[in-house]
C-alpha cells in the first residue's frame, strides 16, 4: 500500500481495504468541542456533528494529516499490510545566504538537530525559555526558504525584529494589509486564509521549512487548513502549552509531528534561565447570585462594572507601579481595560491600553516604551496572553476571572523571564471568594500555580483587599 507524502498523506482508495478505512476513521475521530459546548449550555446541537474526523475521501483518494503516518501504519499492520511512502515534500533549491552566528542552549540545539534528522515535530518550552530562538536556530541550520506562521501582528513584529537582530535577516511580512514575501516570511494566519486557494498553494509551495508559533492553535480549522496545504519538507511547532482543554491536543502531532524536546519550568529555573515569581491572592468583596450557565456572561459583565472591585485593583496596581515595577493588567473585556487604564492614569501613573483594536504602530510604540522602562502600566486583553516579549515585566494582575489552563501558564510565564533591572516578580490574582463558581475557578488556578512553581498550594499567600 503506497502513500504520497507532500502537504498531507494521500492514498489511492482502491488500494486501501474497507476495514482499514473504517479503522482509520475511528482512530482519527475526536469529540467535537462545539457540539459538547452546546450540550453543556443546554442548547440543541443543531448542525454540529458529535465527532470531527480527519480522514477525507475525495476523487478516489484518501487524505490524512501528514503526522498521521504512524496511525496509518498501525491501522494497515492489523491487516498485514506495509505502507510505502513516495516523498513529494518540497525542498527548494534556493539556499539562504550566510547568517549571523546564533548561540543556542543545549536543549535548543538538541531540538534543532532532531528536526534536521526527523523532519517534523513540536518543541515544548515554557515562556521565556527561548522558543523563538529554536525556530531561528532551525532556519540557520537548514538554510531553506522558511515560512513562520503566527496569529497576531504583535507576534509577527517580534519575529521580524528577532530575525533582523539575531540572524541579520530582512524577513518579509504578510498581514495588516501588507503582502511582501521574501525567502524568510512571517505571515499572520488570518491574512493567508483569505487568499484564493490557487494563490495560497503556489505561495506555500515555495518553502522548505514551516514554523508554527503558538502551535497549540493548530487544532483550530483556520490553522490546520493552511498547515495541511503546505508541502514543506520540514515542519516545526513551537508552544509553551501543548495541552488543550477541548480534547484536541492530539492534533499537534497529527499536523506537526511528535515532540522533539520537552523542557519543564523546574529545569529552566534550576538552570537560572527563569526566575520564580511570588503569588499574591487578593480577596475581593464582589458578590453575585449565580444559579445557572446563562448567568455566566451577565456575571462577568457585573465583575467588570463593580466599582469597589475596580478601585481595589487600581490601588494595588498604582502602589506597585510607584514602587518602580513594570505592570501588566489583564482583563477579558475591552471596556474593562479602558476603565482601569483611565482610573490608573487619574492617579498620576501612566497607563496604556493594548487590545486588538489598537493600531499596529501604536501597539509597537506602547511595547517599546514598556521595554525601555518608560511606561509603567499596560492594561490588556487576551492579546497579551501569548507571545508578549517583555522581559522587564515584574508584575501581572489578573483583573478578570478565568481558569483556562493554557492562559494561566502563559500569564505566569510572562513574569519568569530574567532581566537585569528586575529584582523580583509577582502575580496578583483577584479572588472573588463570595461567588462559589469563581472561588472554584481560583482554586483551579491556585493548583496550577503550585504545579508550575513546584511549591505547595498552602504556601501561596492570600490577603484581603483593603476596604
- Reading phi first (left if > 0) and then psi (alpha if -120 to 50, else beta), residue 347 is in alpha
> Residue 466 has what pLDDT?
44
Which residue in 309, 304, 366, 314 sits closest to 344, CA to CA?
314
Instruction: Return the CATH number of the domain spanning residue range 2-87.
Output: 3.30.780
Domain ranges of the chain: 2-87, 106-269, 275-464
β pairing state of 172-175 and 146-150: unpaired
* Structure-block grid coordinates of residue 105: 542552549
β pairing state of 2-5 and 351-354: unpaired
β pairing state of 259-262 and 278-283: unpaired
> Which residue is listed with cell 510604540?
365
SS3 252: helix
SS3 190: helix
> Residue 308 has what pLDDT?
96
**Mean pLDDT per 10-residue segment, the chain (467 residues):** 94 93 93 80 82 89 94 93 95 91 94 96 88 96 96 87 94 91 95 94 97 86 89 94 75 90 85 83 94 90 96 97 94 94 97 86 87 92 65 90 73 76 87 94 86 64 50
HSE (side-chain half, CA atoms, 13 Å) at 351: 27
What is the b/e burial string over 15-32, where b = at least 16 CB atoms within 10 angstroms of the residue's CB? ebeeebbebbbebbebeb
Q: Spell out the residues 6+ positions from residue 171 whose beta carbon is closer than 8 angstroms to its own.
A: 148, 159, 160, 163, 164, 182, 184, 185, 186
What is the rounded distance in angstroms from the CA atom of residue 83 to the CA atom of residue 318? 63
Q: pTM here?
A: 0.76
> Residue 387 has what pLDDT?
54
> Residue 274 has what pLDDT?
80
Nearest-5° angle of CA 162, CA 164, CA 170?
A: 130
Please name the CATH architecture into which domain 106-269 falls: 3-Layer(aba) Sandwich (3.40)
Domain pair 2-87 / 106-269, same fold = no
Query: CATH topology for 275-464?
Result: Rossmann fold (3.40.50)
Q: How far is CA 203 from CA 92, 198, 250, in A?
A: 12, 9, 28
Task: Compute the radius of gyration of the chain from its Cα atoms.
Answer: 24
Q: Give yes or no for a contact between 65 and 254, defined as CB atoms under 8 angstroms apart.
A: yes
> Residue 41 has what pLDDT?
74
> Residue 386 has what pLDDT?
52
Amino acid at each position: 500500500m503506497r502513500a504520497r507524502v507532500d502537504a498531507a498523506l494521500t492514498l489511492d482508495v482502491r488500494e486501501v481495504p474497507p476495514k482499514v478505512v473504517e479503522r482509520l476513521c475511528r482512530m482519527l475521530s475526536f469529540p467535537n468541542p462545539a457540539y459538547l459546548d452546546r450540550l453543556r449550555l443546554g442548547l440543541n446541537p443543531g448542525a454540529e456533528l458529535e465527532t470531527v474526523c480527519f480522514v477525507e475521501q475525495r476523487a478516489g483518494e484518501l487524505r490524512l494529516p501528514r503526522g498521521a503516518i504512524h496511525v496509518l501504519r498501525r491501522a494497515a499492520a492489523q491487516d498485514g499490510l506495509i505502507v510505502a511512502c513516495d516523498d513529494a515534500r518540497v525542498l527548494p533549491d534556493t539556499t539562504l545566504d550566510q547568517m549571523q552566528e546564533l548561540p543556542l542552549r543545549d536543549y535548543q540545539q538538541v531540538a534543532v538537530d532532531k528536526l534536521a534528522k526527523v523532519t517534523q515535530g513540536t518543541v515544548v518550552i515554557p515562556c521565556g525559555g527561548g522558543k523563538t530562538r529554536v525556530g531561528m536556530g532551525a532556519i540557520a541550520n537548514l538554510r531553506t526558504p522558511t515560512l513562520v506562521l503566527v496569529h497576531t501582528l504583535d507576534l509577527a513584529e517580534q519575529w521580524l525584529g528577532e530575525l533582523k537582530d539575531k540572524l541579520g535577516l530582512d524577513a518579509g511580512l504578510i498581514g495588516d494589509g501588507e503582502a511582501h514575501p521574501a525567502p524568510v516570511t512571517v505571515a499572520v494566519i488570518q491574512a493567508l486564509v483569505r487568499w484564493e486557494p490557487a494563490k495560497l498553494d503556489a505561495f506555500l509551495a515555495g518553502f522548505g521549512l514551516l514554523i508554527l508559533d503558538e502551535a497549540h492553535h493548530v487544532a483550530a480549522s483556520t490553522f490546520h487548513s493552511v498547515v495541511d496545504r503546505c508541502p514543506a519538507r520540514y515542519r516545526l511547532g513551537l508552544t509553551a502549552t501543548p495541552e488543550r482543554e477541548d480534547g484536541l491536543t492530539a492534533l499537534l502531532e497529527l499536523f506537526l509531528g511528535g515532540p522533539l524536546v520537552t523542557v519543564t519550568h523546574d529545569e529552566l529555573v534550576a538552570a537560572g534561565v527563569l526566575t520564580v515569581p511570588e503569588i499574591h491572592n487578593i480577596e475581593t468583596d464582589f458578590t453575585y447570585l449565580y444559579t445557572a450557565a446563562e448567568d455566566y456572561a451577565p456575571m462577568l459583565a457585573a465583575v467588570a462594572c463593580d466599582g469597589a472591585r475596580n478601585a481595589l485593583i487600581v490601588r494595588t496596581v498604582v502602589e506597585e507601579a510607584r514602587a518602580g515595577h513594570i505592570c501588566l493588567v489583564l482583563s477579558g473585556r475591552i471596556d474593562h481595560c479602558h476603565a482601569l487604564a483611565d482610573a490608573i492614569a487619574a492617579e498620576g501613573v501612566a497607563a496604556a491600553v493594548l487590545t486588538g483594536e489598537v493600531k499596529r504602530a501604536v501597539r509597537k510604540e506602547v511595547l517599546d516604551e514598556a521595554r525601555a522602562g518608560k511606561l509603567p502600566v499596560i492594561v490588556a486583553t487576551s492579546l497579551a496572553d501569548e507571545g508578549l516579549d517583555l522581559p522587564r515585566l515584574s508584575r501581572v494582575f489578573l483583573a478578570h476571572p478565568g481558569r483556562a489552563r493554557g492562559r494561566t501558564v502563559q500569564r505566569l510565564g510572562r513574569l519568569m523571564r530574567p532581566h537585569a533591572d528586575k529584582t523580583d516578580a509577582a502575580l496578583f490574582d483577584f479572588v472573588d471568594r463570595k461567588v462559589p463558581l469563581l472561588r472554584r475557578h481560583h482554586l483551579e488556578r491556585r493548583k496550577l500555580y503550585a504545579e508550575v512553581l513546584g511549591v505547595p498550594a498552602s504556601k501561596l499567600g492570600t490577603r484581603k483587599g483593603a476596604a
